[in-house]
Amino acid sequence: MALDRKTPNDLNAFWMPFTANRQFKKAPRMFVGAKDMHYTTAEGRQVLDGTAGLWCCNAGHCRPKISEAIAKQAAELDYAPAFQMGHPAAFELANRIIDIAPEGMEHVFFTNSGSESVETALKLAIAYHRARGEGARTRLIGRERGYHGVNFGGISVGGIVTNRKMFGSLLNGVDHLPHTHLPGQNAFSKGQPEHGATLADELERIVALHGAETIAAVIVEPMAGSTGVLLPPKGYLEKLRAITKKHGILLIFDEVITGYGRLGAPFAAQHYGVTPDLMTTAKGLTNGVIPMGAVLTSAEVHDAFMQGPEHMIELFHGYTYSGNPVAAAAGLATLETYKEEGLFERAAELAPYWQEALHSLKGTRHVIDIRNEGLIGAVELEPIAGEPTKRAFSAFLKAYEKGILIRTTGDIIAMSPPLIIEKTHIDTL
């Protein structure tokens, strides 16, 4: 039953995530409805969604096919255990995901979020090497400014300082590649920047330092979103793939943001023409409606576990809600919506218009860089001296007052609208 009042009478109990709680609770911003490209506020105002919720509502809001599928599934089979039991929708969804995945991805392990997908992929990588008799390969390599969720594995391989510094020493045996942000050389690039492919060569230095025989996997976002939209320089991902192959190291792409059409292809791996060994996904898988994630693996990774007696459990890992029936129904309806409406192709077609609209802001006050790829864009602002993040947060508040939802990280404005966006909406943003 929906809440029958627009503003709760007490905001104290809910400790909000990634939020300035005290500021918010003094002047709350409440959404009470949504449809297609817009949210409705408690005051009845329409707010244009410039962020697809949190990078997740790729098909827009309250889409009938998805809502109806959830209701139908909940009435027929609300829950089924995933341990030693199954239900048809989970198997069908896995098949549908593989149908649109890069060639070589053949298996799907279901989770409940991007953070859980990352934890799963990291565990799979270490266990894979152990299953093959290379148990010394336990080291994980992430990247500075990387975001891989908020669980201990994810923040250990991640490289956003504020997400790490409060939580102790984190996982042992983790190292980091340098980030790819080179504003002095690549400012105001349209799409992939020209300079920086050689940054991938730092992986050779890390291999020489630790020994390839100790390294299980390298994990990167093919396009880093949460840190402020950092694009891979031309040739960078190809170099990473070549170096990891050379040394027998697994390559993991974190596609929680880039998956399901954001760059105009089903996955960034296809957009950039580089296929990893594992891919983490979530968000757009169910259009953000029901929590669900998925890790895609190659046959080589999967088959390494399929040894020994058939009655034995091959992988001691999983979640109570892995492949949840209602989530699986939402995922199937979401993939059908993407296909029927050609939303991945639509994103690719709109990308040039989106790019030119973003870059029209070059030269405006305080704008020091603009970056874009597919239907993602970032406008980086000059920080206020001594008050980092304040300029972008002020822009966020002003945008909300004017009926626009944007997202900020540091002093960077990030935008990633639903793929159903029209050119008039782009103009408004």
Residues 135 and 264 in one domain: yes
Domain end (from 291, 320, 340): 340
Tens digit of each residue's pLDDT (9 = 90 or more) over 164-187: 999 999 999 999 999 999 999 999
* pLDDT on residue 9: 73
* pLDDT on residue 8: 73
Residues 178 and 322 in one domain: yes
| Amino acid, res. 91 | F
Task: Judge whether 283 and 256 are in contact, CB under 8 Å.
Answer: yes
The reply to whether 100 falls in a domain is yes
Look up the domain containing 48 and give its range.
21-63+342-428
Tell me which H or E stretch contains 208.
helix 202-210
CA distances from 217 to 143, 173, 194 (A): 12, 11, 27
Specify the residue for token string 């690719």: 348
Residues 304 and 394 in one domain: no
Task: Judge whether 225 and 416 are in contact, CB under 8 Å.
Answer: yes
CATH number assigned to the domain comprising residue 88: 3.40.640.10
φ, ψ dihedrals at 311, nearest 5°: -85, -5
Task: Judge whether 404 and 38 are in contact, CB under 8 Å.
Answer: no
Residues 281 and 346 in one domain: no
The reply to whether 3 falls in a domain is no
**Residue-level length of the chain:** 429
Q: How many CB atoms lie within 10 A of CB 88?
A: 11
CA distances from 121 to 198, 258, 295 (A): 26, 17, 7
Q: Cα–Cα distance between 13 and 298 in angstroms, integer?
A: 44
Residues 350 and 336 in one domain: no
**Whole-model pTM above 0.85?**
yes
Task: Judge whether 152 and 140 are in contact, CB under 8 Å.
Answer: no
216 Rama class: left (phi>0) / alpha (psi -120 to 50) / beta: alpha
Residues 236 and 130 in one domain: yes
Domain end (from 299, 316, 340): 340
Task: Judge whether 149 and 114 are in contact, CB under 8 Å.
Answer: yes
Q: Where are the beta strands (DSSP E) in 130-268?
A: 139-143, 174-177, 215-220, 250-254
CATH number assigned to the domain comprising residue 59: 3.90.1150.10
What would the two tokens of residue 290 be? 């029901």
The reply to whether 46 falls in a domain is yes
* pLDDT on residue 5: 61
Domain count, the chain: 2
Residues 301 and 153 in one domain: yes
The reply to whether 145 falls in a domain is yes
The reply to whether 2 falls in a domain is no
Residues 297 and 418 in one domain: no
What would the two tokens of residue 304 be? 């390494």
Q: Cα–Cα distance between 360 and 123 in angstroms, integer?
A: 44
The reply to whether 13 falls in a domain is no
How buried is residue 336: exposed, middle or buried, by Cβ count under 10 Å (0-12/13-18/19+)? middle
Tens digit of each residue's pLDDT (9 = 90 or more) over 76-106: 999 999 999 999 999 999 999 999 999 999 9
Domain end (from 318, 340, 362): 340
Q: How many CB atoms lie within 10 A of CB 95?
A: 11
The reply to whether 14 falls in a domain is no
**What DSSP assignment string belongs to 127-170?**
HHHHHTT-TT--EEEEETT----SSHHHHHH---HHHHTTSTT-
Residues 363 and 322 in one domain: no
Q: Cα–Cα distance between 240 and 250 in angstroms, integer?
A: 10
For each of the chain's 429 residues, which pLDDT tens digit applies?
455 566 677 899 999 999 999 999 999 999 999 999 999 999 999 999 999 999 999 999 999 999 999 999 999 999 999 999 999 999 999 999 999 999 999 999 999 999 999 999 999 999 999 999 999 999 999 999 999 999 999 999 999 999 999 999 999 999 999 999 999 999 999 999 999 999 999 999 999 999 999 999 999 999 999 999 999 999 999 999 999 999 999 999 999 999 999 999 999 999 999 999 999 999 999 999 999 999 999 999 999 999 999 999 999 999 999 999 999 999 999 999 999 999 999 999 999 999 999 999 999 999 999 999 999 999 999 999 999 999 999 999 999 999 999 999 999 999 999 999 999 999 999
Residues 40 and 176 in one domain: no
Q: Cα–Cα distance between 97 and 260 in angstroms, integer?
A: 9
Residues 80 and 169 in one domain: yes
Residues 119 and 57 in one domain: no
The reply to whether 16 falls in a domain is no
